[in-house]
Protein backbone atom coordinates (compact mmCIF):
# COMPACT_ATOMS: atom_id res chain seq x y z
CA UNK A 1 0.00 0.00 0.00
CA UNK A 2 1.32 3.45 -0.96
CA UNK A 3 0.83 6.64 1.00
CA UNK A 4 1.82 10.13 -0.19
CA UNK A 5 2.45 12.77 2.48
CA UNK A 6 3.62 16.39 2.32
CA UNK A 7 7.12 17.19 3.54
CA UNK A 8 6.50 19.76 6.26
CA UNK A 9 8.78 18.91 9.19
CA UNK A 10 12.52 18.88 9.77
CA UNK A 11 12.33 15.09 10.13
CA UNK A 12 10.54 14.71 6.77
CA UNK A 13 13.11 17.01 5.13
CA UNK A 14 15.93 14.81 6.52
CA UNK A 15 14.22 11.68 5.18
CA UNK A 16 13.83 13.31 1.77
CA UNK A 17 17.48 14.36 1.66
CA UNK A 18 18.64 10.84 2.61
CA UNK A 19 16.43 9.34 -0.09
CA UNK A 20 17.90 11.79 -2.61
CA UNK A 21 21.43 10.75 -1.64
CA UNK A 22 20.65 7.06 -2.10
CA UNK A 23 18.61 7.39 -5.30
CA UNK A 24 20.97 9.83 -7.01
CA UNK A 25 23.99 7.66 -6.23
CA UNK A 26 22.12 4.59 -7.54
CA UNK A 27 20.93 6.19 -10.74
CA UNK A 28 22.87 9.25 -11.87
CA UNK A 29 26.56 8.40 -11.53
CA UNK A 30 26.60 6.54 -14.90
CA UNK A 31 24.76 9.45 -16.54
CA UNK A 32 26.50 12.55 -15.14
CA UNK A 33 29.40 11.23 -13.04
CA UNK A 34 30.15 11.17 -9.31
CA UNK A 35 31.48 14.76 -9.13
CA UNK A 36 28.30 16.29 -10.59
CA UNK A 37 26.07 14.02 -8.48
CA UNK A 38 27.90 15.15 -5.32
CA UNK A 39 27.64 18.81 -6.35
CA UNK A 40 23.95 18.61 -7.24
CA UNK A 41 23.06 16.75 -4.04
CA UNK A 42 24.73 19.45 -1.96
CA UNK A 43 23.27 22.32 -4.00
CA UNK A 44 19.71 21.05 -4.54
CA UNK A 45 18.98 18.08 -2.26
CA UNK A 46 20.61 18.86 1.09
CA UNK A 47 18.28 19.47 4.05
CA UNK A 48 19.14 23.18 3.89
CA UNK A 49 18.45 23.37 0.13
CA UNK A 50 15.14 21.52 0.51
CA UNK A 51 14.11 23.82 3.40
CA UNK A 52 14.94 26.90 1.31
CA UNK A 53 12.96 25.54 -1.65
CA UNK A 54 9.94 24.86 0.57
CA UNK A 55 10.18 28.39 1.98
CA UNK A 56 10.06 29.72 -1.61
CA UNK A 57 6.89 27.76 -2.43
CA UNK A 58 8.12 24.38 -3.68
CA UNK A 59 5.90 21.57 -2.42
CA UNK A 60 7.66 18.30 -1.50
CA UNK A 61 5.95 14.96 -1.00
CA UNK A 62 7.19 11.59 0.24
CA UNK A 63 5.76 8.29 -0.95
CA UNK A 64 5.71 5.37 1.46
CA UNK A 65 5.42 1.69 0.60
CA UNK A 66 4.48 -0.54 3.54
CA UNK A 67 5.26 2.35 5.93
CA UNK A 68 8.77 2.85 4.48
CA UNK A 69 9.70 6.08 2.66
CA UNK A 70 10.84 4.97 -0.81
CA UNK A 71 10.52 8.03 -3.04
CA UNK A 72 9.73 11.70 -3.28
CA UNK A 73 8.52 14.45 -5.55
CA UNK A 74 8.77 18.24 -5.65
CA UNK A 75 6.30 20.55 -7.37
CA UNK A 76 6.75 24.22 -8.23
CA UNK A 77 3.46 26.05 -8.84
CA UNK A 78 3.47 28.69 -11.58
CA UNK A 79 0.01 30.26 -11.17
CA UNK A 80 0.49 33.12 -13.63
CA UNK A 81 1.36 30.60 -16.36
CA UNK A 82 -1.25 28.02 -15.23
CA UNK A 83 1.58 25.48 -15.11
CA UNK A 84 2.98 23.13 -12.51
CA UNK A 85 6.64 22.14 -12.67
CA UNK A 86 7.44 18.59 -11.69
CA UNK A 87 10.82 19.56 -10.29
CA UNK A 88 11.73 16.17 -8.85
CA UNK A 89 10.23 12.69 -8.96
CA UNK A 90 12.32 9.79 -7.73
CA UNK A 91 11.71 6.25 -6.49
CA UNK A 92 14.37 4.04 -4.90
CA UNK A 93 15.64 1.41 -7.34
CA UNK A 94 14.56 -1.43 -5.03
CA UNK A 95 10.94 -0.26 -5.26
CA UNK A 96 10.62 0.38 -8.99
CA UNK A 97 8.05 -1.67 -10.84
CA UNK A 98 5.42 -1.11 -8.12
CA UNK A 99 3.90 1.84 -10.02
CA UNK A 100 4.88 4.27 -7.26
CA UNK A 101 6.19 6.77 -9.82
CA UNK A 102 2.83 6.65 -11.59
CA UNK A 103 1.08 7.24 -8.25
CA UNK A 104 3.27 10.31 -7.65
CA UNK A 105 2.67 11.54 -11.20
CA UNK A 106 -1.10 11.09 -10.88
CA UNK A 107 -0.97 12.92 -7.54
CA UNK A 108 0.84 15.82 -9.28
CA UNK A 109 -1.77 15.84 -12.07
CA UNK A 110 -4.56 15.99 -9.48
CA UNK A 111 -2.90 18.96 -7.80
CA UNK A 112 -2.57 20.69 -11.18
CA UNK A 113 -6.24 19.99 -11.97
CA UNK A 114 -7.33 21.31 -8.56
CA UNK A 115 -5.37 24.51 -9.20
CA UNK A 116 -6.95 24.77 -12.69
CA UNK A 117 -3.53 24.56 -14.37
CA UNK A 118 -3.24 23.56 -18.03
CA UNK A 119 0.24 22.05 -18.10
CA UNK A 120 2.57 19.83 -16.11
CA UNK A 121 6.19 20.24 -17.17
CA UNK A 122 9.66 19.01 -16.25
CA UNK A 123 13.24 18.76 -17.39
CA UNK A 124 15.04 15.45 -17.84
CA UNK A 125 18.66 14.67 -18.69
CA UNK A 126 19.01 13.89 -22.40
CA UNK A 127 20.97 10.71 -21.57
CA UNK A 128 18.34 9.41 -19.14
CA UNK A 129 16.59 7.29 -21.79
CA UNK A 130 14.56 5.18 -19.35
CA UNK A 131 13.07 8.28 -17.74
CA UNK A 132 12.37 9.93 -21.11
CA UNK A 133 10.55 6.81 -22.31
CA UNK A 134 8.61 6.60 -19.03
CA UNK A 135 7.50 10.23 -19.30
CA UNK A 136 6.46 9.75 -22.93
CA UNK A 137 4.48 6.64 -21.95
CA UNK A 138 2.75 8.80 -19.34
CA UNK A 139 1.64 11.56 -21.72
CA UNK A 140 4.65 13.89 -21.89
CA UNK A 141 6.28 15.10 -25.08
CA UNK A 142 9.61 16.81 -25.70
CA UNK A 143 9.11 20.53 -26.29
CA UNK A 144 12.64 21.95 -26.14
CA UNK A 145 16.31 21.23 -25.55
CA UNK A 146 18.07 23.10 -22.73
CA UNK A 147 21.63 23.48 -21.50
CA UNK A 148 21.67 25.20 -18.11
CA UNK A 149 24.83 26.24 -16.29
CA UNK A 150 24.44 25.19 -12.65
CA UNK A 151 27.84 26.41 -11.50
CA UNK A 152 31.15 24.79 -10.59
CA UNK A 153 31.75 23.91 -14.25
CA UNK A 154 28.62 21.72 -14.50
CA UNK A 155 25.63 21.98 -16.81
CA UNK A 156 22.27 20.31 -16.99
CA UNK A 157 21.86 19.06 -20.57
CA UNK A 158 18.12 18.43 -20.56
CA UNK A 159 14.94 18.10 -22.53
CA UNK A 160 11.95 20.17 -21.47
CA UNK A 161 8.89 17.92 -21.52
CA UNK A 162 5.23 18.84 -21.08
CA UNK A 163 1.91 17.10 -20.58
CA UNK A 164 -1.47 18.75 -20.96
CA UNK A 165 -3.74 18.64 -17.91
CA UNK A 166 -7.33 17.80 -18.70
Give the number of domains in the chain.
Answer: 1
> 75, exposed or middle or buried, with CB in 10 Å at 0-12, 13-18, 19+?
buried
pLDDT exceeds cutoff 90 at 1 = no
Provide the domain limits for residue 66. Answer: 2-164
Instruction: Supply the CATH number for residue 30's domain.
Output: 3.40.630.30
Q: In angstroms, rounded to a whole number, what is the distance separating the alpha carbons of residues 47 and 30?
A: 24
Q: What is the pLDDT of residue 2?
A: 84
Q: In angstroms, rounded to a whole number, what is the distance separating the alpha carbons of residues 2 and 104?
A: 10
Q: What is the pLDDT of residues 137-164, one digit of tens each?
A: 999 999 999 999 999 999 999 999 999 9
Q: What is the pLDDT of residues 109-138, one digit of tens each?
A: 999 999 999 999 999 999 999 999 999 999
Amino acid sequence: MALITPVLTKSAIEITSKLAFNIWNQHYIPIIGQAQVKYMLEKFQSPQAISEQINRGTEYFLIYHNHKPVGYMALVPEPSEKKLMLSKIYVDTDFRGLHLGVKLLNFAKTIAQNKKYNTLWLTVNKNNQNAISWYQKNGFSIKDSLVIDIGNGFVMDDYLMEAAIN
